[in-house]
Structure 1
Amino acid sequence: MPPEDSFEAARKVKEMYCYTCSDIVKEFNKHDKEPAKFIKQWRGIRLKTGAPYACDIGYERFLGPEVLFSPEIYTSDYITPLPALIDKCIQSAPIDTRRALYKNIVLSGGSTMFKDFHRRLQRDLKKIVDARVQAATAHHGGDIKAKPVEVHVVSHPIQRFAVWFGGSVLASTPEFFESPQLLCVKACHTKAEYEEHGASICRVNPVFKGMY
């Protein structure tokens, strides 16, 4: 594959051929037993010369998405899988909101569009939550049984552009430019204001009431 085309080719391969597997070992075995069934071929045209080229896509189809669930197979610097991160985030929320958060996990972004991504995420997160519930029950000797926690990952039609969609909704409101609720403090700044005050004007966000 031409180096200058690698990024664009990788993006298209990711969108067209990659998927989330339920068990990486079983997936390797499936590919090894019937390689012709699972291997796909990407064909492209070199941007500089117009010459055609081709490359086979095998294990990469499921190994790419697997980095989100088993990062340790790629690096030892970062080994926390996505389900554990989500669980940690919800556990840091107020205790009376956690059940609602677990059953309303909404996907957003292009890398959540892999086939069966939401099923894998829901399954792995459910395992973490169920293990905690069982540990709590065992801690009390089985006399007090913890109520099961519902885990639901929401996959929806606009999840690929959900972040942009949310930002566009905010920007379309009058409050984005001038908000009475925020004592007439704007949630955005004009180019002229930025040029006058510099980068420091972006360090205070009236929407999130924080300083960065």
Structure 2
Amino acid sequence: MTEKCLILDNGSHTVKCGWRSDKSPVNLYNWIMRPKDRRRQFVGTQIDGCQDMSNIHITSPFQKGYLLNWTAQKTVWDSIFSDPLKVSPGETHLIVTEPPLNFTSIQEAWDEVMFEEYGFRSLFRCSASTLTAFHYKQTHTDSQCCLIVDAGHAFTHIIPYHNGKQITAGTKRINVGGKHMCNLLKELISYRQLNLLEETYACNLIKEDVCFVSTSFCEEMELAKKKDPSVLCEYVLPDFVNIHRGYVKLPDVTDDPDEAKKPEPNKEQMIRLSLERFTVPEILFNPSDIGIDTMGLTEAIVYAIKQCPTNMQPHLYNNIVIIGGSSKFQNFKERILKDVRSCAPDEFNINVYRPEDPIVEAWKGGQLLGGWPGYQNIRVTKSEYEECGPSVCAKKLFDSIPVGVNNT
């Protein structure tokens, strides 16, 4: 009988959860959302039933990238486990992700909740970067090294791996993520056009729809000054009556002015965006723009590689893997390739790989791990936890999946 294995990629923004046999995971916000009247809360798949997202109050289980509100998190998990997936923990093996460099106290709470409150048969806990590195190793068998760039919601991590083992000396964190970009966009729009400081949900959609990474910042600024159509765009905001999701308003290209469709007055509320579109993602490459004293993404990638053994460095430059929601920005891959090429030694090849869907790449790594022959040796079973306590988790669940050259 095939074991039931559940993969739970528990991000601070979205939860990607599904069985190992599924083609794709259930992808839901890791939030509890309450409308203005606060009379009802929406969790998991219930969020689709919330008709008015204006001024909605969002409760996240995560604070500064770490899981601290366990009551809220269990509410989200209960919703996912009961409705879309119908999980029976006592019959299920669990692979779950946690933030890199997680605190020991939080890890112990993870193990306690999963074993004592839910009662899963076994547990393997690691970072999304580790599962991505495992997936990359299994699908690129000639590559023993890779550098994972995880551009997440709260942080951006740069982590080098060798045969599935994390190289701690080269691990680097940038305290900038999708949340900081959303907050900056809210401030820019609110200061210049319309007060959207309480519209986190809407601003996050605006960011995803219109923002892009600049490959030539000075040239983009000149285009913005000239109001060039390649930079300038109009965005129609949702009113949650006739328009439930905002969208980019396309320019009218009709030659005949009599046939041009005229917008109906008071039907659409629009904002105009130009330089905000590329200055917001730019803070990932230059955090000092918003007063964060840390190195930018390109500098951090080069720094992380230089902390690794000399013989690994050319292989790491040649196997840069980018994942996370922010990696979906237009020109994100090209910007990293261009900037790293200018900083790396001339004799090294630079290759940046972005999966087809960088958001679910870690979940796919969990799929492969669930069927890997060595998986049974690295997971912690419930009987082991009951016999040895949390110490067995601390001993076995280190943030690596050691794999041999021959993937055995």
After TM superposition, the score normalised by the length of structure 2 is 0.39
8 Å Cα contact 2:214-2:220 kept in structure 1: yes
Between Structure 1 and Structure 2, the one with more strand by share is 2
- Whether 1:102 and 2:293 are equivalent positions in the alignment is no
For residue 40 of structure 1, give the secondary structure of its aligned residue in structure 2.
Answer: strand
8 Å Cα contact 2:236-2:268 kept in structure 1: no
Q: Distance in 2 between matches of 1:57 and 1:203?
A: 49
- Whether 1:159 and 2:358 are equivalent positions in the alignment is yes
Match of 2:282 in 1: 66
Larger RCO, structure (CA 8 Å, separation 6 or more): 2
The Cα shift of 1:36 comes to 5.6
The Cα shift of 1:90 comes to 1.0
**Residues 202 and 40 of structure 1: is their aligned pair in 2 closer, same or farther, counting only changes over 3 Å?**
farther
**Residues 166 and 36 of structure 1: is their aligned pair in 2 closer, same or farther, counting only changes over 3 Å?**
same
8 Å Cα contact 2:211-2:280 kept in structure 1: yes
Match of 2:223 in 1: 30
What is the letter of the counterpart of residue 316 of structure 2?
L
Q: Distance in 2 between matches of 1:104 and 1:209?
A: 18
Match of 1:145 in 2: none
8 Å Cα contact 2:355-2:361 kept in structure 1: no
- Whether 1:89 and 2:304 are equivalent positions in the alignment is yes
Match of 1:203 in 2: 394
The Cα shift of 1:198 comes to 6.5
Please identify, of 18-27 and 65-74, the stretch whose mean Cα deviation from structure 2 is larger: 18-27
Please identify, of 87-96 and 3-12, the stretch whose mean Cα deviation from structure 2 is larger: 3-12
* Structure 2 counterparts to residues 1-212 of structure 1, below 5 A: 2-4=54-56, 6-34=199-227, 38-46=232-240, 53-75=269-291, 77-130=292-345, 148-173=347-372, 175-176=374-375, 178-179=376-377, 186-190=378-382, 202-206=393-397, 208=399
The Cα shift of 1:72 comes to 1.0
What is the letter of the counterpart of residue 85 of structure 1?
A
**Residues 52 and 200 of structure 1: is their aligned pair in 2 closer, same or farther, counting only changes over 3 Å?**
farther
The Cα shift of 1:194 comes to 6.1
8 Å Cα contact 2:305-2:313 kept in structure 1: yes
What is the letter of the counterpart of residue 220 of structure 2?
E
The Cα shift of 1:8 comes to 2.1
Give the % identical residues: 24
What is the letter of the counterpart of residue 199 of structure 2?
S
Between Structure 1 and Structure 2, the one with more helix by share is 1
The Cα shift of 1:157 comes to 1.1
The Cα shift of 1:55 comes to 3.4
Q: Distance in 2 between matches of 1:36 and 1:209?
A: 47
Q: Distance in 2 between matches of 1:73 and 1:129?
A: 24
Q: Give unmatched runs, 5+ long, in structure 1.
A: 134-147, 180-185
Match of 1:136 in 2: none
The Cα shift of 1:18 comes to 1.1
Q: Distance in 1 between matches of 2:392 and 2:214?
A: 46
8 Å Cα contact 1:41-1:57 kept in structure 2: yes
The Cα shift of 1:169 comes to 2.0
What is the letter of the counterpart of residue 324 of structure 2?
G
Match of 2:257 in 1: none
The Cα shift of 1:174 comes to 5.3
8 Å Cα contact 1:42-1:57 kept in structure 2: no
Q: Deviations over 1:56-98 (max 9, x none)?
A: 33322112211111111111x3330111111111111111111
Q: May I ask how many residue pairs the two structures share in their alignment?
A: 183
What is the letter of the counterpart of residue 323 of structure 2?
S
The Cα shift of 1:28 comes to 2.0
Q: Distance in 2 between matches of 1:196 and 1:58?
A: 61
Q: Give unmatched runs, 5+ long, in structure 2.
A: 1-52, 57-197, 245-266, 402-408
Q: Distance in 2 between matches of 1:44 and 1:195?
A: 52
Match of 2:251 in 1: none
